[in-house]
Amino acid sequence: MFDLIIRNANLPDGRTGVDIAVEGTKIAAVEPQIGALARTEIDATGRLVTPPFVDPHFHMDATLSLGLPRMNVSGTLLEGISLWGELRPLLTKEALVERALRYCDLAVSQGLLFIRSHVDTSDPRLVTVEAMIEVREKVKPYIDLQLVAFPQDGYYRSENGVASLNRALDMGIDIVGGIPHFERTMDDGRASVEALCRIAADRGLPVDMHCDETDDPMSRHIEVLAAQTVRFGLQGRVAGSHLTSMHSMDNYYVSKLIPLMAEAKINVIPNPLINIMLQGRHDSYPKRRGLTRVRELMDAGLNVSFGHDCVMDPWYSMGSGDMLEVGHMAIHVAQMAGLEDKKKIFDAITVNSAKTMGLEGYGLEKGCNADFVILQAADPLEALRLKPTRLGVIRRGKVIARSMPRIAELSLDGRPELIDSGRDYVPLG
Ligand SMILES: [Zn+2]
């Protein structure tokens, strides 16, 4: 007798009609038609059951603050940063915790159970750090939240940058961040990458930097990040977030850069929603898209995972905690619409992101944590197309969220009475 069995599931790898049995908090079996019974049985009715969505790049301290104290008029990254600077002195721990918990509720309902959030360390009060550490504890039963010490105003450019970042790490922040392209000079940027990688090596922590989030093709801090990663023996533990300057770089230079990044096993984290919204703002026409070279990086064997980055904050007035919306945008902006392309995009918001975050026990194999999401869709391609309802969200064997399927009733002569968008699709071949 198992604790839980999900029956008749389609899996992301293409298997259909599979049962998933759970004992306690772990997956005990994944096979067709398990004969044993369970205390709770859920019929997935041929829907997609996937490991939870994973967001490797978010800003939990800024989320849901849209309009405080005013809106971003130009819509640029730089106005967003200065707007956040206006809001920062007004932040209270209570309000930060409350907004973050509300976002986490939304995330759970979307089957998003793993989030890496950057936490701004620029305000020496470090109220953001205190608040996010409290949130990390509070959501632990349902969301794994990793925190990055992020010197938003610059590690060297801001008066308190160096001291505040180190204090945040002392307080228990998990990962070393940075923002080399925002330092005063290219040289300061290069020096910050080196200093931050050294801190990570000394403290035994991973690195995740906002890196080259600009349209400037000469912003080449990713090259330094890759080189310092190798120098300090941090291979596989370093992430480069955004890397939008690569979009505009010279092709010959990139032909040298990508193998260097592969050697350093850099985890690449583009943020398609934010990148298409914020980049190319100084262009008239033609306007650059600004997304990094997703296909080329994937082809070179780099681990590419997509982040949501922002929801309702000074940089982005949209967003819904739906990683399928992120993947949907990636398909368009990276022009990856082929069948194999879309499977890779789905991986980028699930297994690749789990690898970036170093998650243990993630997946749909025997022995993995019993965490999964049942979607109102048949397979990953349909999930990306429809951004469907999360019918059930299971964490460590317990249902923690459920939603009614989205079904429309039609009143049309001679036409069907109901449309279940996740049923009327006939897979090709
Ligand atoms: Zn960010």
Tell whether 428 is covered by a domain: no
Say if 258 falls within a structural domain. Answer: yes
Find the mean pLDDT for residues 263-268: 98
Beta strands in 122-271 (DSSP E): 144-150, 175-176, 207-211, 238-242, 267-269
Q: Does 281 share its domain with 398?
A: no
Q: Which of 425, 379, 386, 426 is nearest to 406 (CA)?
A: 386
Assess if residue 418 is contained within a domain: yes
Q: Does residue 402 share a domain with residue 413?
A: yes
At residue 18, does pLDDT exceed 70? yes
pLDDT higher than 80, residue 424 = no
Structural domain boundaries, residue 343: 53-356
Question: What is the distance in angstroms between the CA of the first residue and the CA of the last residue of the chain?
Answer: 37
84: domain CATH number? 3.20.20.140
The secondary structure of 389-409 as a DSSP string is -EEEEEETTEEEEE----EEE
**Catalytic site residue 409?**
no
Q: With respect to residue 429, please indicate whether it lies within any of the assigned structural domains.
A: no
The pTM score is 0.97
Residues 279 and 325 placed together within one structural domain of the fold: yes
**How do residues 214-228 score in pLDDT, each as one tens digit?**
999 999 999 999 999
> Each residue of 104-161: pLDDT tens digit?
999 999 999 999 999 999 999 999 999 999 999 999 999 999 999 999 999 999 999 9
Condensed to tens digits (0 to 9), the pLDDT of residues 337-364 reads 999 999 999 999 999 999 999 999 999 9
| Same domain (yes/no): 165, 177 | yes
pLDDT of residue 309: 98
Q: From the candidates 94, 137, 194, 213, give the one annotated as an active-site residue.
A: 213
Is 193 in the same domain as 124?
yes
Kindly give the distance from the C-alpha atom of residue 12 to the centroid of ligand 1, in angstroms, as a whole number: 28
Tell me what the mean pLDDT of segment 57-85 comes to. 92
Does residue 208 have a pLDDT over 70? Answer: yes
Q: What is the Å distance from ligand 1's center to 38 Cα?
A: 43
Same domain, yes or no, for 182 and 117? yes
Tell me: do 193 and 253 sit in the same domain. yes
Position 420 pLDDT exceeds 90: no
| Boundary-marking domain end, from 297, 326, 356 | 356
Residue 363 CA, ligand 1 centroid: distance in Å: 26
Mean pLDDT computed over 34-46: 96
Is residue 427 scored above 60 in pLDDT?
Answer: no
Same domain, 39 and 119: no
Question: Which domain-ending residue is among 333, 356, 379?
Answer: 356
Confidence of residue 77 (pLDDT cuts 50, 70, 90): confident
**Contact present, 57 and 22 (Cβ < 8 Å):** no
Among 356, 378, 412, the domain boundary falls at 356
Q: Are residues 367 and 410 in the same domain?
A: yes
Is 393 part of any domain?
yes
Is residue 292 domain-shared with residue 174, that is, in the same domain? yes
pLDDT of the residue at 75:
83
Residue 343 Cα, ligand 1 centroid: separation in angstroms? 25
